[in-house]
Structure 1
Amino acid sequence: MAAIKPYIKIRFLFLLTLLLTAMSSAQEVFDKENLMGKSDISFYGDGTYQLRKEAYEAFLKMKKSAATAGIEIKVVSSYRSFEHQNSIWTRKYNRFTAAGMSPTNAINKIIEYSTIPGTSRHHWGTDLDIVDGKPKQPKDVLLSKHFEGNGPYCKFKEWMDQNAASFGFYLVYTNNPERKGFKYEPWHYSYAPLSKPMLTAYQKINLKEALAQLDLIGAKHIDANFIEKYVNFNILDINPELKN
């Protein structure tokens, strides 16, 4: 067999290096600590929100397009660290139990809308809670009634229904009556090109072991049966467009 020409060999080694670098980067991006909001990564945003670079660039394009239709997309929430999610969890747990709820009932009440720390899609830098910033803002912006009938965000909802997918964004928790888990959230969108492979990677985490290592208030009331149901309903029962 003829010897491989030097320039072919060099190019082969160059391409191999690129491939290995890409594989290494993907592994770093989707590792356990990263997926659970416990490691530092680079985010992009204007100071009021944070997203991964690819999601950020797609969001800017969507925001610009929406502006031509008279809609001013406003970010209410984006990336959240584990610590941020844990503060939400702790505050709600303490409030509900102080009001007389049992720990189990308090946890079930929390997960109607809020995730267990370490399990939030907002840890990934791919998900956003968004509304229209132009109308007069109601006191509590993230209520589904504001996106229905004559609510202030109806025009926004109509535009997103028609256009969001073309920018890679999909509603996560739809109003499908057959869907279980978190309640309908017409404000929560996810950038599918990144969040789909991240969900696949997340499913490889042993969540029972991972949560056992965290210092969560009420953790002793989260058993294996609860976790199995939580994974199937709250983590996986989402918009099919966001699953591989």
Structure 2
Amino acid sequence: MPKSFIILFLLFAINGYSQGASEYSKADLIGKGNPIFHGDDHKLQKEAHEAFEKMRNAALKDGIKIRVVSSYRGFEHQKGIWTRKYNRFTKQGMSPQTAISKIIEYSTIPGTSRHHWGTDIDIVDGGMPQPKSVLEPSHFSEGKVFYNFKKWMDANANNFGFYLVYTSVDGRKGFKYEPWHFSYKPISQKMLMQYKAMDIKEMLQKEKIVGGDYFTDEFIKAYRNENILDINPKLK
């Protein structure tokens, strides 16, 4: 076999492997891509959508009517949530730093949300009376409106590839307990691996995010380690 052909073959193999290792673009990871999503009352990647529908049908047979509260959110959508909360909290008299700390109890900085990936979904039991604010941890406690939903998800969600992201495990840092937020592991685990290789500081500095002047090096390091990475270990 000619030496030149061997060299070309090796270059092609290396390039092909590299492309396979980088399945998702930076735009996809920060909610600025143009992906194709599936679902009527939700937006998920095809594989995640199909798994979710199987899970929803199984739950319905057991008397649980899964209702989607939120799924894919793009960068601008997340930026709107962030801006509204920041403005509201600072108008209430909070300092910028305090407002930011308050926001990241439950909401992400634009460009860092798992909801950008089309793998994560916020769900409740739509067959029960809906509280004014459905996404409250107390609603999932024993004897409360979504307790049976929580029990069903605890017992069955993993069988369909979905895992709770922000658990109630003692000592976990970052975002508070969210018994409604599930992630489709077969895809989100790969996307997290790629996301971890990104320079979060550089990305945030390029975006015009209100309050961004207070994203110090120390804050970004803690936010990455705690809010982005201190999640259910099974999703890492």
CA deviation after TM superposition for structure 1 residue 223, in Å = 0.9
Q: Secondary structure at the match of 1:92?
A: helix
**Residue number among 131, 146, 154 corresponding to 1:161 in the alignment:** 154
* 1:238 maps onto 2:227 in alignment: no
CA deviation after TM superposition for structure 1 residue 149, in Å = 1.9
**CA distance in 2 between partners of 1:26 and 1:95 (Å):** 42
Residue 5 of structure 1: aligned partner: none
Identity of aligned residues (%): 57
Give the TM-score taking structure 2 as reference length: 0.92
CA deviation after TM superposition for structure 1 residue 59, in Å = 0.2
**Residue number among 50, 61, 75 corresponding to 2:43 in the alignment:** 50
**Residue number among 190, 194, 217 corresponding to 2:187 in the alignment:** 194
Q: Secondary structure at the match of 2:163?
A: strand
CA RMSD of aligned residues (A): 1.8
**CA distance in 2 between partners of 1:107 and 1:86 (Å):** 13
Q: Secondary structure at the match of 1:170?
A: strand
Give the TM-score taking structure 1 as reference length: 0.89
**CA distance in 2 between partners of 1:212 and 1:92 (Å):** 20
**CA distance in 2 between partners of 1:184 and 1:25 (Å):** 34
Q: Secondary structure at the match of 1:237?
A: coil
Equivalent residues in 2 for 1:194-213, closer than 5 Å:
194-213=187-206
Deviations 1:163-202 (A, max 9, x none): 0000000000000011000000000000000000100000
Distance 1:26 1:69, change over 3 A: farther
**CA distance in 2 between partners of 1:55 and 1:112 (Å):** 26
CA deviation after TM superposition for structure 1 residue 24, in Å = 4.1
**CA distance in 1 between partners of 2:87 and 2:20 (Å):** 40
Q: Secondary structure at the match of 2:27?
A: helix
Q: Secondary structure at the match of 1:76?
A: strand
Gaps of 5+ in 2: 2-8
CA deviation after TM superposition for structure 1 residue 26, in Å = 6.2
CA deviation after TM superposition for structure 1 residue 206, in Å = 0.3
Residue 101 of structure 1: aligned partner: 94
CA deviation after TM superposition for structure 1 residue 121, in Å = 0.2
CA deviation after TM superposition for structure 1 residue 39, in Å = 1.2
What amino acid does structure 2 have at the position aligned with 1:57? E
Residue 7 of structure 1: aligned partner: none
* 1:172 maps onto 2:165 in alignment: yes
Residue 113 of structure 1: aligned partner: 106
Residue 8 of structure 1: aligned partner: none
Q: Size of the alignment, in residue pairs?
A: 226
